[in-house]
Amino acid sequence: MHGFINDYYSEFSEKKQNGKFHKVIALHENKQISWGEIQKIAPNMVRGWFELAHLCDEDRINFLRDYWLVKLPYHPKMGEFLNRFFSSLDGIGVYLTQKSYDDPFQIQLVYSLKSGNTFFSGCAPATEEEINHLSTYFSKWILPQDYLAFLKIHGGFCKTTDSTGILKPSQVINTYKQFQAYLINEEPLIVRGRAIDPSTLIPFYESFGMPFYQCFWAEWYPELEMGNVYYSGTSKSISFVANSDEFQDSMAFPTFSDWLMFYLEEIH
């Protein structure tokens, strides 16, 4: 794990004014803490993650690679991609963080890249209740199954370079409402000469807390499930091309899995 990760997950004090948290527990470095002690301060702690913290780095990486492969639906490129992605890691940490004294502890898995260019942070898995609530809210459409499967791995996920990332299920609903209110005051979105229904854009990823979203688009089914497109708050437009060879360049993806592989790909 690179030193800048420890700098990021640091406690603030009189000597360290730039610390981000009131309390940080790197569970993978504090294996003497018992399950009972953890439950008292973080009742939402995932037992599997507690056990994971007691493995060595190599075993944590291999276990999580296999877990992702089992949880995510089949995609012809996903197996090879995940092998490459997890081989690019030098460690996976289990962190409990508390923003201020009265806040509950949050739990995260931190995926550290060997290159040191960035790291990924994943929240606790979404619960069945959270996923059912999300699906019910958007019951007019069927959310992609690979997306829902990913939420069972991490109910929120980001890299350090974009800060917001894949939204938590509750954030998806709130962001959708805010996005719809925002679009009311904008010019109609035009794709291939016609205005699209803005309510069919469901943001699942947000960049820097700004109006830059990757959205499921309920009017576009390039494969069996709805594809996803990029909305730019600068150009006030969505990315869309008819030619599948240009999908990635335009940030339009036929599946959530295709977008996820793009998101996880390290930029050199």
The residue out of 79, 96, 122 marking a domain boundary is 122
Do 17 and 144 reside in the same domain of the chain?
Answer: no
- The token duo for 171 is 């954030």
Do 179 and 262 reside in the same domain of the chain?
Answer: yes
Do 111 and 130 reside in the same domain of the chain?
Answer: no
Do 160 and 39 reside in the same domain of the chain?
Answer: no
Do 56 and 182 reside in the same domain of the chain?
Answer: no
pTM of the model: 0.93
The residue out of 122, 156, 191 marking a domain boundary is 122
Do 184 and 101 reside in the same domain of the chain?
Answer: no
Specify the pLDDT at position 268: 42
pLDDT means per 10 residues, the chain with 268 residues, are 80 75 94 95 94 96 98 97 97 95 94 90 97 98 98 96 89 96 90 89 90 94 93 87 61 95 80
Query: Pick from 130, 109, 122: which is nearest to 50 by CA?
Result: 109
Do 111 and 141 reside in the same domain of the chain?
Answer: no
Do 45 and 105 reside in the same domain of the chain?
Answer: yes
- The token duo for 229 is 């497109």
218/138 Cα distance (integer angstroms): 10
Specify the pLDDT at position 49: 97
Task: Look at strands 89-98 and 106-113 and give their pairing.
Answer: antiparallel
Domain range holding 77? 3-122
Query: Pick from 232, 228, 230: which is nearest to 254 by CA?
Result: 228
The residue out of 73, 99, 122 marking a domain boundary is 122
Do 89 and 189 reside in the same domain of the chain?
Answer: no
Query: Pick from 236, 238, 237, 235: which is nearest to 227 by CA?
Result: 238
The full DSSP string for the chain is --HHHHHHS-B--SS-TT--BSEEEEGGG-TTS-HHHHHHH-TT--HHHHHHTTS-HHHHHHHHHHHHHHHSPP-TTHHHHHHHHHHTEEEEEEEEEESSTTSPPEEEEEEEETT-S-EEEEEPPPPHHHHHHHHHHTTTS---HHHHHHHTT-SSEEETTTSSEEPPHHHHHHHHHHHHHHHHTSPPPEETTEE--GGGEEEEEESTTSSEEEEEETT--SSSS--EEEEETTTTEE---S-GGGTGGGT-BSSHHHHHHHHHSPP-
Do 88 and 150 reside in the same domain of the chain?
Answer: no
Do 155 and 179 reside in the same domain of the chain?
Answer: yes
Specify the pLDDT at position 246: 56
Specify the pLDDT at position 13: 76
The full DSSP string for 50-63 is HHHTTS-HHHHHHH
156/175 Cα distance (integer angstroms): 14
Do 173 and 242 reside in the same domain of the chain?
Answer: yes
Total structural domains within the chain = 2
